[in-house]
Amino acid sequence: MPIVLLIRHGETEWNRSGRVMGDQPIPLNRTGEEQARTCAGILFRAPIAAIYTSPVLRAAQTAEILRGPQKIPLHRVPGLSEIGVGDWINRYWHEFADDPAKREWYTHPDRARPSGGETLREVQLRAVAAVEQALAHAHDTPVVIVTHGDVIRAILAHYLHLDLAIIRQARIDHVAISGLDLTGATAQLLFLNHRPGLETLL
């Protein structure tokens, strides 16, 4: 199996305001577009078998920018969609900061479910299935997965055998890249949450 590059979508205005998007078609803002273009400059130097993206607008837009003029196959995969947030959609995170359901969502993500939404365990099952399907066609060439923060955490937890509650502590920034090497008997984490240009902030 090849290397998998997991990339979160770029920023939207709803991210900036702290509003719950779910799978609504909220577009990237200018910052998000620029983040994706910067990342594309890095990917341009790497051999990529294909890009697989969540069909949610902000992720699909990010994937298109990452692809650029290159003729890399691009596939929209429902299994990579954002976690279902149910009745929380359209609300602001600060409105229910003390809600017991939200606290459990972070402390017991394998079983906690927003009303009408998904558990992180359910997300993990569909997302890993999507990654495995992508790998079956990769022929030992790296693949890019463009998706959402919690989906990336769920994928990392599966391959690294980590508890879902622990992986929730992993920071996944907009258009940050996390890399997994799946060529051996056990997965290796190559890097986590790499942000192009991060060295200029240190």
Residues annotated as part of the active site: 9, 82
DSSP structure class, residue 92: B
Environment class of 131 (CB within 10 Å of its CB; exposed 0-12, middle 13-18, buried 19+): buried
Three-class SS state of 196: coil
DSSP-derived secondary structure for 116-161:
TS--HHHHHHHHHHHHHHHHTTTTTS-EEEEE-HHHHHHHHHHHHT
Q: Find where tokens 């900061």 sit.
A: 97
